[in-house]
Structure 1
Amino acid sequence: MAVSRIGRIVAASCRLPVTVLLVALLLTAAALLYTARHFAITTDTAELISTELTYRQHELAYDAAFPQFQDVIVAVVEGATPELADASASRLVEALQAQPALFRAARQPDGGAFFARNGLLLLPTARVQATMEQLVRAQPFLGPLAADPSLRGVMGVIGTALQGVEGGQARLDDIAPAMAAIAGTAEAALAGRPAFFSWRDLIAGSAAGSRETRRILLVQPVMDYAALQPGAAASAAIRDTARRLGMDPAHGVTLRLTGPVPLADEEFATLAQDAELVTGAMVAALLLVLWLAVRSVRCMVAILVTTLLGLVMTTGAGLLATGRFNLISVAFIPLFVGLGIDFAIQFCVRYLAERRLGSGLHGALAATGSGIGRALALAAAAICVGFFAFLPTSFIGVAELGAIAGLGMIIAFALSITLLPALLTLLHPAGGRAEMGYAALAPIEAVLRGNRRAVLVVAALVGAGSVALLPWVRFDFNPLNLRSEAVESMATLRILMADPDRTPNTVSVLVPSLEQAPAMARRLQALPAVSHTVTLDSFIPDQQAEKLALIRDAAALLEPTLEGVERLPPPDDAAQIDSLRRTAAALRQGAGQAGDPAAVTARRLAAALDQLAAAPPATRAAVATALVEPLGILLEQVRAMLEAGPVSRQTLPPELVADWLTADGRARVEAFPHSDASDDASLQRFSTAIQAIAPDAAGTPISIKGAGDAIVTAFLQAALLSALAITLLLALVLRRSRDVLLTMLPVLLSAALTLASCVVFDLPLNFANIIALPLLLGIGVAFNIYFVMAWRAGEAHPLQSSLTRAVVFSALTTATAFGALWLSSHPGTASMGRLLMVSLGWELLVTLLVRPALLAVPPTEHQEVV
């Protein structure tokens, strides 16, 4: 019989404790060695879903067509001015391209010589005309500044303008914006603050927005897959390069990294950053709960050693079975700790109860194996079945968790009937000094048994109400919501998602040829959910003849001013001081005593220039740099802009063409959502509308929706499969349909209450916390098996027995293992701990309050449920 067989195994382990311990240590050492050599973990949420799914096939096909978009670091350069953004982005790209050992590619998709010359042509004709008119109006200033690009030259331009005001050719109001901007720059430098100035803003007459001050770089790093964070070295190199180039807030530039590589790396770092806190809290609480459970240091040592060695073995076995861990499968650690210690507590509490009855060490251990072995075996088998039920599903993340956790349950059970009794034999804990049951619960048990029908009716009503709430259970499909918003990569991604021109929430469609792209673009553009579309032809300007004519007309006036100008020698500090004082005097004379805003601004600038003339040379140098450097950038940009020429498919840069046209001639059409479509529901409508036209489309919104659908389907499949498998297992072992129902009904009630709590407390299910469901099933089945098996063996007062003590402290131990996850700053991990605490709370309440009423009627040999 199974009972006697497990009893004999326990007895044999007690006779050969040293041998059992040595074998366990050898297996642990082998697992540790294998883990050290083969440890791998992926933080890529895309790898949690099977590649056999249709949307994943389309996703992989798109990735293969455009590999330059895969494994990228998105470097977001923000400048205090457009000139700073442009210059910093260009210098960073050049510096990264010079490091081929770290970077396979680095580029600015909307930068380079082509866009410098022809970018203006991509704007509407009215914008081109306005820009040329602004430059022509600035021509009287651009010429002198091109000849003397210095602080002296800037002061000379202001002096010339003031002469025009004095002669009546201009008004002071005309130069008020320039005076205010220069005054602000000088005042910042005098106050010791960073000083920045934009000639582009001044000429345009308005402050630049993020479109002008934000630049996006795509960097493909050389990945180090031997490291836990494969792209961390490349990310660090980008930041180091930026620091060497002076790209920091003190110089008006901010660099932030996001994209698939930093997101994955920082996800792992976020998971690890609270490891000490979570582990410390878990261990401290475990020790406390274990002590309260067994009141024996030697039993605690035996339980902890058994659990630790089992965890190492499970880690090695899990890597051997799955090849790597993922963001979800790493949850096998608290799963094993919680459930493994459950087996150990059940064994030790029963052992201590046997000792209290007067049995000796070996006799108590053998009796424990015979008395509880079958229940432990059935519980372990049921939990394994529950976990293995996820193997056939497409949710690889939980399928791998199921494989590892299922193996762990086999290991935990094996160690609980071999290593644990061997350690107890070697440690020889005392027994019989404390009551292991709860005699004080006798009145409560009497009330529950005496009001059995009322308790069951209330439980049925509560269960029905919980089931009625199930349609409102919410699943958060978006894996980004599980990431910490505090990390740079995630915070930066949120900024880009709010940018209608740079949002990653786009959907791409591949058409067989470039000639078919316009038709597809028009079909997508007609969808209400689509803001606009982009194809390769989007980079071929319309109305080129009119725009080029405007540019040529402006060039006829501007080029003589900008080209062939002989630069004056740079001024020394004395010359700059003289120009500052002369300009200040001219400003006061021009403003006079007038009180209008322009005059007030002129006097403000005069005061700042006088202070600047009296300031240390370093302060004047800072102002000169703030004014002159963007001037040089502007002049180069204007020269390039005036060289614009006709654009055709043949003149487009090869790198740009490669982003929209595959080597085999297929063309990409990219659709953008409306700027207000940032929530998950809107993005789902956006992707669904596009898929109705192009079923093979790919993009982030489609991936999120497809992953969510796959997960829900996987859990429905696994829930049905595990419920059927566990029921069949219980039927084969218990051989009574009534006993099977008595085991499963509390599990179903606990599950319904947990899901109803998710609705009431607005706790959405997500990629991470959904593992609470298989855990709930495993623990629920285990607890109820213990009680049903004891009930079948004649236990008439379960609440007062040592079994209840074991179950209560087992639940507390598991809650401790998972509750510690609540302390994590990682949202996904914290949500996992939160939901698991809720599920364990309901499991314990149902076990203690409903279970006694269900078992109030003694079992009969042939009683069946019809």
Structure 2
Amino acid sequence: MVLLLALALGAAALLHTTRNFAMTADTTELISPDLDWRRQRAAFSLAFPQYTDSILVVIDAATPEQAEAAAAMLAARLQVEPRHVRRAWLPEGGPFFERYGLLLLPLPEVQAVLERLIAAQAFLGPLAADPGLRGVLTTVSTMLEGIRRGDANLGEIRPVMTALAGAFEAAAEGRPAHFSWRRLMAGEPSKPGDARRFVLVQPVLDFGALEPGAAVSAAIRAAAQELGLQPTRGVTVRLTGAVPLADEEFATLAQDAVPMTTAMLLALLGILWLAVRSTRYVFAILATTLLGLVLTTGLGLLVIGRFNLISVAFIPLFVGLGIDFAIQVAVRSQAERRAHPQMEQALAAAGAGLGGSLALAAAAVAAGFFAFLPTSYVGVSELGAIAGLGMGIAFVMSLTVLPALLVLLRPKADRGAAPGSSLLEPAEAAVRRHRAWVLRAGGLAAIASVALLPWLRFDFDPLHLRNPQAESMATLADLLADPDRTPNTIDILAPSLAEADALARRTGALQEVSRAMTLSSFIPSEQTEKLVLVEDAAMLLGPTLEPGLRPPAPSDAELVQQLRKTARDLRDVTDAPDQPASAEAGRLAAALDQLAGGPASVRAAAEAAVTEPLTVLLQQVASLLRAGPVSREMLPPNLVADWITSDGRARILVFPRGKTDDNAHLRRFSEAVQSIAPAATGTPIIIREAGDSIVLAFLQASALSALSIAVLLGVALRRATDVVLAMLPMLLSGLLTLGSCVLLDEPLNFANIIALPLLLGMGVAFNIYFVSAWRAGENELVHASLMRAVVFSALTTATAFGALWISSHPGTASMGRLLMIALGWELAVTLLFRPALLAQLPAGGALVLRSDRAL
């Protein structure tokens, strides 16, 4: 009847779970929205929703021209994906920047750019008149003619020959051929990131899925594939930003799920069998735990309504502590069968002996979990509520369903060795002989651990917990290395543009700030001087760039003839005194001969390599030469909407100076900005404030847990000395764990700190078991069935959840490492310190245990 009732409740819980299961992957819901920094972020997100949960598409191409064309095509293509994309735009491009972008540069740079264009006039004229491969070859021949006349030397055109030779060799050999006129005309080596462009996407997310942005990311990749934006064509498309980072974290966890689950199950089964030496006992324990997990899941959904990314950790918490309760009952019942052969009698005796300590342990552990309820860390607060309820379920199941299953399964009684373990006898003997030394060693270890606590680190950067090999993280690492494009910026919301400009000037003067931008940053300074330079250049270059009627395209035979002619012209100058330039001339001549002797397809590839970027260059030059005065009214509406709200509030974007991937530097940067603008928000502030909020939440919960557990133990045990004896081993194992973290350079972080509730729960439960047994007058604690149950309970949890260590996800692996460290110390304290603490050596020299049957 007990089992049927439990199965009926389990079926009802399972039905409720399947009908009402809900889980949010929205990380913004993990911390209370009532905190000041959360309200500030929410206010900014409400004002500029396009920057919330966005996807940054990073396009890297072989040339700047190719990157710009790819970004423009992809943005236009994504704009017709309303099912997945709300908006897609070029944050650094578009018609406005093509025409007026030059004016946004400092005056000396504007002058330098225009002087280079004027110097290239003789070069640009023939190309504009015939913008194809024939025109390029004609231009090269013209330059060579000037060299033969002595008007120039071969070294001056060496960069042109080198760049053309590389592109033509690739085309002749059937490889992707790339050529950049912009780099060639810049007259300097290409800079990192000069062929990188961005598309910013505001996606439509599905927060009911574990990967809310998976569909959007797939649509972006499909669009890029459709447009031919592939590495084989010299274009790489990568995704990063808040959405891909979160999605790929789930993907990494899913990738490791099978090996980790397999390792957990094997470890669980192996240690359980060693603990009870009976397949039927193992089955009963696992069935009880699984049914309890189903009930806890249903009750959690009923009370909370949904799970979050943190609260789902109730599963390992319940399994670890639920199995502990079940192992205690199972091992004690096996021990009782020596005096009570009938299973029913053995179970009744086990319940009578363990019921009080199990009830107290479950209540204390639940109180520890419920201590997280008042904190601002909503993720762990909900975890505490569900896990606390789960402890009640685990307790009831261990004293009802587990005995019912054991009665029905009738496992054979073990008539072999004593229920303890012969492996523990050396430890028991050592504790007997060296009790004083064990206590002294424990005290010294505690003092040493306390001394190490100032060096305990908390890694506030959540990026350190992500897989560095994932595309989104690798891309973000590239961006962090670029101070002009770092995502570690701060946003400030000002009441008006005038106030934003004033605040930007004050913020920009800070030592920690490189620059502060507002909408006014897109209205060029020194426009009169710059426009005079532009007008002068336009008068000189205008006729050159508008040659009138262009000649018809050449036939393939004519193109072959032109290739061979240019190759001959190049060989005529290979005896020039400039040997490196002469070598490049010979190399280019050989490439032209290859093109002339190859099929028409290689010549078409060569033409595309030089003419496509040439078309882009000529269009951009013509556009920037048409620049005129820029006023606030001329700014594009989309650009204005990215900086000014409909009610006139203005955005300030602040960039850090120096290293943008250093946490200490970013903390100083955020504190400096907030000293002027307390309502500022942004990644550096969010990381710092979230870390501080989580640490404060755990400190509050730890203090409240310790207080509630101490009060509960005081009420149950009714003696301050016993409460201290119950709390001291837990305090020692906690200090040893934190001290080991310092020595092993294992910082606490947002992931492994979630393991602390499990460690707290097991430490409290173990202490209560031993103190209860000690008060009941049991002796030989190290060799008793209680010790066997505790040791195997700890081993089960350690080996099962230590399998997290094998994860390729850094956060999950750090949780596994911390669990192994903590449970290792818990075992050491259980085997050595706790029995020594409870033992008392009288004057006669025999080791006895104080007895108190008040429980």
Q: Does the TM-score normalized on the shorter chain lie above 0.5? A: yes
SS at match of 1:197: coil
Q: Is it true that 1:633 corresponds to 2:616 in the alignment?
A: yes
Larger deviation, residues 352-361 vs 412-421: 352-361
Question: Distance between the aligned counterparts of 1:581 and 1:440, measured in 2?
Answer: 89
Q: CA deviation at 1:863?
A: 11
Question: Distance between the aligned counterparts of 2:609 and 2:26, measured in 1?
Answer: 43
Q: Is it true that 1:697 corresponds to 2:680 in the alignment?
A: yes
Question: Distance between the aligned counterparts of 1:442 and 1:113, measured in 2?
Answer: 82
Match of 1:8 in 2: none
From 844, 850, 853, the equivalent of 1:859 is 850
Q: CA deviation at 1:627?
A: 0.8
Change (3 A) 1:861 1:804: closer
Question: Distance between the aligned counterparts of 2:242 and 2:576, measured in 1?
Answer: 61
Match of 1:575 in 2: 558
Larger deviation, residues 316-325 vs 517-526: 316-325
Match of 2:7 in 1: 25
From 571, 591, 603, the equivalent of 1:588 is 571
Q: Is it true that 1:663 corresponds to 2:646 in the alignment?
A: yes
Q: CA deviation at 1:593?
A: 6.2
From 706, 709, 718, the equivalent of 2:689 is 706
Q: CA deviation at 1:544?
A: 0.8
Q: Please tell me the residue identity of whatever aligns with 2:540.
A: L
Match of 2:811 in 1: 828
Q: CA deviation at 1:439?
A: 4.6
Larger deviation, residues 490-499 vs 233-242: 490-499
Match of 1:380 in 2: 362
Q: How does 1:514-663 map to 2 (within 5 A)?
A: 514-563=497-546, 565-592=548-575, 594=577, 596-663=579-646
Larger deviation, residues 403-412 vs 807-816: 403-412
Match of 1:12 in 2: none
Q: How does 1:41-190 map to 2 (within 5 A)?
A: 41-190=23-172
Q: How does 1:363-378 map to 2 (within 5 A)?
A: 363-378=345-360
From 273, 281, 298, the equivalent of 2:263 is 281
Q: Is it true that 1:237 corresponds to 2:219 in the alignment?
A: yes
Question: Distance between the aligned counterparts of 2:502 and 2:576, measured in 1?
Answer: 66
Question: Distance between the aligned counterparts of 2:643 and 2:200, measured in 1?
Answer: 15
Q: Provide Cα deviations, 1:667-700, integer angstroms capped at 9, x if missing partner.
A: 1222111132421111001111111111111111
SS at match of 1:37: helix
Q: CA deviation at 1:860?
A: 5.0
CA contact (8 A) 2:446 2:736 kept: yes
Q: How does 1:438-477 map to 2 (within 5 A)?
A: 438-439=421-422, 441-442=424-425, 444-477=427-460
Question: Distance between the aligned counterparts of 2:331 and 2:631, measured in 1?
Answer: 82
Larger deviation, residues 663-672 vs 602-611: 663-672
Q: Provide Cα deviations, 1:547-586, integer angstroms capped at 9, x if missing partner.
A: 1111111111222122252222222221211111000001
Q: CA deviation at 1:25?
A: 2.2
CA contact (8 A) 1:529 1:674 kept: yes
Q: Provide Cα deviations, 1:736-765, integer angstroms capped at 9, x if missing partner.
A: 222111111000000000000111111100
Match of 1:788 in 2: 771
Q: CA deviation at 1:36?
A: 2.7
Larger deviation, residues 746-755 vs 440-449: 440-449
Q: CA deviation at 1:211?
A: 4.6
CA contact (8 A) 1:43 1:265 kept: no
Change (3 A) 1:567 1:36: farther
**Unaligned segments of structure 2, at least 5 residues:** 841-848
Q: Please tell me the residue identity of whatever aligns with 1:200.
A: R
Change (3 A) 1:794 1:548: same
SS at match of 2:448: helix
Q: How does 1:326-365 map to 2 (within 5 A)?
A: 326-365=308-347
**Unaligned segments of structure 1, at least 5 residues:** 1-18
Larger deviation, residues 103-112 vs 435-444: 435-444
CA contact (8 A) 1:43 1:267 kept: no
Q: How does 1:281-430 map to 2 (within 5 A)?
A: 281-430=263-412
Q: Please tell me the residue identity of whatever aligns with 1:684.
A: R
Question: Distance between the aligned counterparts of 2:433 and 2:109, measured in 1?
Answer: 85
Q: CA deviation at 1:326?
A: 2.8
Q: Is it true that 1:215 corresponds to 2:215 in the alignment?
A: no
CA contact (8 A) 1:772 1:839 kept: no
Question: Distance between the aligned counterparts of 2:107 and 2:281, measured in 1?
Answer: 83
CA contact (8 A) 1:146 1:565 kept: no
Match of 1:11 in 2: none
How many percent identity over aligned positions?
A: 62
Q: CA deviation at 1:442?
A: 4.1
Q: CA deviation at 1:350?
A: 0.7
Match of 1:10 in 2: none
Q: Please tell me the residue identity of whatever aligns with 1:152.
A: R
Question: Distance between the aligned counterparts of 2:423 and 2:292, measured in 1?
Answer: 35
CA contact (8 A) 1:150 1:571 kept: no
Q: Please tell me the residue identity of whatever aligns with 1:317.
A: L
Match of 2:824 in 1: 841
TM-score normalised to structure 1 length: 0.95
Q: Please tell me the residue identity of whatever aligns with 2:827.
A: L
Q: CA deviation at 1:539?
A: 0.7
SS at match of 1:153: helix
SS at match of 2:202: strand
Consecutive aligned runs of 4 or more in structure 1 exceeding 6 Å deviation: none
Q: CA deviation at 1:779?
A: 0.5
Question: Distance between the aligned counterparts of 2:198 and 2:814, measured in 1?
Answer: 33
Q: CA deviation at 1:419?
A: 1.0
Change (3 A) 1:576 1:428: same
Q: CA deviation at 1:443?
A: 5.0
Q: Please tell me the residue identity of whatever aligns with 1:52.
A: D
Q: CA deviation at 1:704?
A: 0.9
CA contact (8 A) 2:453 2:739 kept: yes
Question: Distance between the aligned counterparts of 2:244 and 2:270, measured in 1?
Answer: 39
Question: Distance between the aligned counterparts of 1:268 and 1:324, measured in 2?
Answer: 18
CA contact (8 A) 1:499 1:675 kept: no
Match of 1:818 in 2: 801
Change (3 A) 1:186 1:273: same
SS at match of 1:218: strand
TM-score normalised to structure 2 length: 0.97
Q: CA deviation at 1:197?
A: 0.3
SS at match of 1:41: coil
Question: Distance between the aligned counterparts of 2:251 and 2:620, measured in 1?
Answer: 41
Q: CA deviation at 1:318?
A: 2.3
Q: How does 1:669-684 map to 2 (within 5 A)?
A: 669-684=652-667
CA contact (8 A) 1:768 1:831 kept: yes
Larger deviation, residues 114-123 vs 369-378: 369-378
Q: Please tell me the residue identity of whatever aligns with 2:245.
A: L
Question: Distance between the aligned counterparts of 1:158 and 1:588, measured in 2?
Answer: 13
Question: Distance between the aligned counterparts of 1:319 and 1:142, measured in 2?
Answer: 70
Match of 1:806 in 2: 789
Q: Please tell me the residue identity of whatever aligns with 2:646.
A: A
